[in-house]
Amino acid sequence: MTGVALKGLLARRVRAVLTALAIVLGVAMVSGSLVLTDTISKAFDTIFTSSYSHTDAVVSGKKLVDYSNGGNATVSKELLERIKRMRDVEAASGALLDLNGDSTHATLLDRDGKAIQSNGNPTFGFGIDTSQPRFNPLKLQDGHWAKGAHQVVIDAETAKKHHFAIGDMVGVAAHGPKERFRIVGTATYGNVNSLGGATIAVFSIPTAQRLLGLRGYSAISVAAKPGVSSEKLLSELKQEVPATAQVRTAKEQANDDKQGVASFITFIRAFLLGFGGIALFVGAFVIFNTLSITVAQRTRELATLRTLGASRRQVLRSVVFESFAIGLGASVIGLFAGFGLARGLGSLFGALGLSLPEASSVYATRTFVISLLLGVLVTVLAGFVPALRATRVPPIAAVREGAVIQRKKRLGPLAGVVLFGIASALIAYATLGGHLGSGKSLLALAGGTLLGLLGVAGFAPVLVTALAAVVGIPARRFGGAAGRLATDNATRNSARTASTAAALMIGLALVSFVAVLGKGVRGSIDRAVDKQVTADWVVTSQNGWSAFPAGAGRAARSATGVTLASDIRSDRGRIGKADVNVNGVDPATIARVYHFDWKQGSNATLAGLDGHGAIVKQGFAKKHHLAVGHGFTLRSPAGKPLRLTVAGIFQPPQVMEVLGGVVISRAAFDRTFVRPSNSLTLIDGSPTQAGLDKALAAFPDAKAQTHAEYVKAQSSFINTMLNLLYVLLALSVIVSLFGMVNTLVLSVFERTRELGMLRAVGMTRRQVRRMVRHESVITALIGAALGLPLGIMLAAAVTHAVGKYGVTFSLPVASLVIFTVAAMIAGVLAAIAPARRASRLNVLEALQYE
């Protein structure tokens, strides 16, 4: 029977290939996702481990808060000198090198004076002690290291991309106005091929300290003398360092540096694998439909095998083996196709401004195991039900012309209703319980969505006739006899049509869900920002969300037409064991350009923001049990304490908050935080764009926008995310496209004699092609009619759950129309090859076809 199965596959090569393509694409997505994320992980591992490859211990400032603009506490030059004099220390070197914070932020400028940055990717400015090369993680590619006050080494990738050569002058903007430096060398970070859009500028340590506004070092690397253990060295160092510093082994420091990145890579991997799973899920529908049709068409063949002595078990084993063979072959091809797709996914992230570090590709054993196992398992499971049907073929069917498999009473619609009911309950639990975002609710939402799709697919055959009658109106009205026959063909085997449409339904349901939810979120962000910021103009960083030098705010005041400019400082602080966003504002001007929604207090309360007054967000006050008049202590990233008293309580919109949990006076902020910088400068008046650009010319990392431009820019990242999701979901639509091609090709085989009779009674080749095209478009529109409402309902449920954040339900009518048109185009494309084959049938041979 194994030989019979293999010969059957070889005899039906076209059908086998078309069936396999669905699995190839799904497995390629899984394989590519694993290769890409493993490669990114390797790149980050290389970056962090190379930083301490010849280091036994690292002394650094204690990390009190995450994502600080000013960075952690530094370690002093005096401490470095004491460490060098320790008896068990062979060498020690200080450096300004922070891969996880903004304390070493320095932006390179291109030849036109514009900031070189890619959608917020890091722009590093390092200070390296090149007299101790053992501690230097960078590798010099050309030239020499920076020595003088106006020399710089830049990363080789930036030099190549922006056509910089040794000897050229380049602008650098860091904590103050831009400066000019001469390029004396190019370097790479360890063995990493690309830093994914990040740039590096390497200075001498005194130059970096001046440029970055830092005192001391971000870390001191220490090497022990031969024979001295790491444990002994650490013990001695801990007795030497102050309370604001910490001592770690090189491995511990590298692992700590990688923690944030590891969670990010895990998210990216799960994100991409989710879309690979969707493609495989759609592929399962394609395989199920294809094998169901082929089993039905092989009734006499299977009956003959039974007549010759094959048992039901042998027939079952034969058909399941066919599924296994197709799945294995497709999975192997998909596995290796995924290696190429990994590069494509990397390019996709780059095109969307989300470039990530790159290293040599990683092909882990688990990539092979998971990809092959998933592909084969999905194929075999999808083919099991058709295989069971094959066992029901009675031997007598071998002598009956036109015999078909007698199916048992269909339970699919009832099962579909039950599944849809369970799905509705799970989605209701996830979205109505007020806890959307927890692990259980997200799992319930994902499970409910999956069961909902299966449920709709289950009872879809009952809806096919009604849906075909509606979506087939244009075909019947404008397609003539071919259009009417196409509608009849679509409803003749409702289960087959429903299964084919269900594959497309899944992709369209998810796409419409993303579009509807995306429009609601974008609208909520626009309304929230517009409500908070009332200024005529807004100065932000180039990427719109990171901090920029405080000097840029002072420069903006000098522009002609500016009547008021109010800076908003920003950084992270710590209260107790919790991190909090802290803002420093000018109490005299902030209320004129920012709207406070007061819960306790008024604009007059701002006058109380003296050296120890603070206004706090309502949610923050509730969490920390604070009321007006209560005191609390805020610590800066460097550990400096500031005693504060609550003067008022306000509540910004819960989405896109412009001000953080604690707001203090700008004077108090500047005294507490080491490197004060702005998140925004809000401007009133009637300046011109040219005037503001001129005033900000010395600060290329800052830009001025009108109020409307600023509001629109705050939600622009939603468009980037939507484009990414659309591209990834397009894979499932492509898989469903192959499913429609499969169904139509097999339908043409099945109806060979029927097509011959139609041609014999006068139907032209053109009418045959038109009939197949109309049938394909009707099937695609049935998929759209099932998928779009399902996606809209799911988006409505999620929107209700996040309504407390100001997200409202809004239909993107234009997008939904585009999706419907895209479904029609998919139907036309899927029909090209089947329509041509149908029109080219030899009439006499078709009439003799069995």
Can you spell out the DSSP letters for 440-464? HHHHHHHHHHHHHHHHHHHHHHHHH
As a whole number of angstroms, the distance between CA 636 and CA 71 comes to 10
Structural domain includes residue 706: no
Q: Say yes or no to pLDDT of 494 above 80.
A: yes
DSSP code of residue 89? E
As a whole number of angstroms, the distance between CA 397 and CA 44 comes to 64
Answer whether 795's CB lies under 8 Å from 512's CB: yes
Strand order across the beta sheet in which 57-61 lies: 89-95, 219-224, 57-61, 245-249
As a whole number of angstroms, the distance between CA 230 and CA 214 comes to 30
What pLDDT sits at residue 102? Answer: 66
Domain match, 399 and 260 both: yes
**Burial of 330 from C-beta contacts in 10 A (0-12 / 13-18 / 19+):** buried
CA count, 13 A, side-chain hemisphere, 704: 27
Task: Look up tokens 């935080």; give the residue.
Answer: 673
Domain match, 666 and 572 both: yes
Structural domain includes residue 729: yes
Backbone angles phi, psi at 11, to 5 degrees: -75, -25
| Choice among 312-321, 349-358, 756-765 with the minimum mean pLDDT | 349-358
pLDDT digits (tens, 9 = 90+) for 74-116: 889 999 999 999 999 999 999 998 776 667 888 999 998 888 8
What percentage of the chain has pLDDT greater than the value 70? 89
Domain match, 75 and 215 both: yes
Of 408, 440, 465, the domain-final residue: 408
Structural domain includes residue 615: yes
Q: Say yes or no to pLDDT of 640 above 90.
A: no
As a whole number of angstroms, the distance between CA 115 and CA 130 comes to 27
Q: Say yes or no to pLDDT of 1 above 60.
A: no
Q: Say yes or no to pLDDT of 361 above 60.
A: yes
Structural domain includes residue 525: no
Question: Mean pLDDT over residues 807-836, rounded?
Answer: 87
pLDDT digits (tens, 9 = 90+) for 568-606: 999 999 998 888 999 999 999 999 999 999 999 999 999
pLDDT band at residue 323 under the 50/70/90 scheme? confident
> CA of 318: how far to CAs of 252, 314, 322, 383, 707, in Å?
56, 6, 6, 11, 69
What pLDDT sits at residue 435? Answer: 62
In total, the chain counts a number of residues equal to 850
Domain match, 494 and 575 both: no
What pLDDT sits at residue 439? Answer: 67
Positive/negative CA dihedral, 545, 546, 550, 556: negative
Domain match, 491 and 571 both: no
As a whole number of angstroms, the distance between CA 417 and CA 454 comes to 10
Domain match, 40 and 68 both: no
Tell me the range of 21-25, 69-73, 788-792, 797-801 where mean pLDDT is highest. Answer: 788-792
Please give the structure tokens belonging to residue 48: 């962090």
What pLDDT sits at residue 639? Answer: 84
Domain match, 271 and 395 both: yes
* Number of domains making up the chain: 4
Which residue did the predictor score with more confidence, 380 or 410?
380
pLDDT band at residue 408 under the 50/70/90 scheme? low
Q: Say yes or no to pLDDT of 814 above 80.
A: yes
> CA of 423: how far to CAs of 417, 453, 462, 784, in Å?
10, 9, 19, 20
What pLDDT sits at residue 403? Answer: 46
Positive/negative CA dihedral, 97, 102, 106, 107: positive
pLDDT digits (tens, 9 = 90+) for 523-559: 889 999 999 999 999 999 988 888 899 999 999 999 9
Structural domain includes residue 22: yes
Domain match, 98 and 204 both: yes
**Burial of 201 from C-beta contacts in 10 A (0-12 / 13-18 / 19+):** buried
Alpha helix stretches (DSSP H) within 308-364: 312-351
Domain match, 437 and 569 both: no
Question: Mean pLDDT over residues 8-33, rounded?
Answer: 76
What pLDDT sits at residue 589? Answer: 94
Structural domain includes residue 271: yes
Answer whether 70's CB lies under 8 Å from 674's CB: yes
What pLDDT sits at residue 695? Answer: 94
**Burial of 382 from C-beta contacts in 10 A (0-12 / 13-18 / 19+):** buried
Domain match, 730 and 591 both: no
Of 197, 225, 243, the domain-final residue: 243
pLDDT band at residue 181 under the 50/70/90 scheme? very high
Model-wide pTM > 0.85: no
Answer whether 765's CB lies under 8 Å from 839's CB: yes
What pLDDT sits at residue 411? Answer: 67
Region of 526 please: left (phi>0), alpha (psi -120 to 50) or beta: alpha
Alpha helix stretches (DSSP H) within 76-229: 77-84, 156-161, 205-212
Structural domain includes residue 527: no
Q: Which of 753, 754, 749, 759 is nearest to 837 (CA)?
A: 749
Q: Say yes or no to pLDDT of 706 above 90.
A: yes
Domain match, 76 and 209 both: yes
Domain match, 736 and 831 both: yes
Amino acid code (one letter) for 464 = V
- DSSP reduced 3-state for 227: coil
pLDDT digits (tens, 9 = 90+) for 24-75: 888 888 898 888 888 888 877 777 777 777 889 999 888 788 778 777 778 8
Structural domain includes residue 57: no
Tell me the range of 381-395, 451-465, 775-789 where mean pLDDT is highest. Answer: 775-789
Structural domain including 732 reads 422-520+711-850
Which residue did the predictor score with more confidence, 50 or 399?
50
> CA of 690: how far to CAs of 44, 541, 543, 700, 704, in Å?
41, 17, 20, 14, 10
Of 408, 436, 459, the domain-final residue: 408
Please give the structure tokens belonging to residue 406: 């007698």
CB count, 10 Å around CB of 622?
A: 12
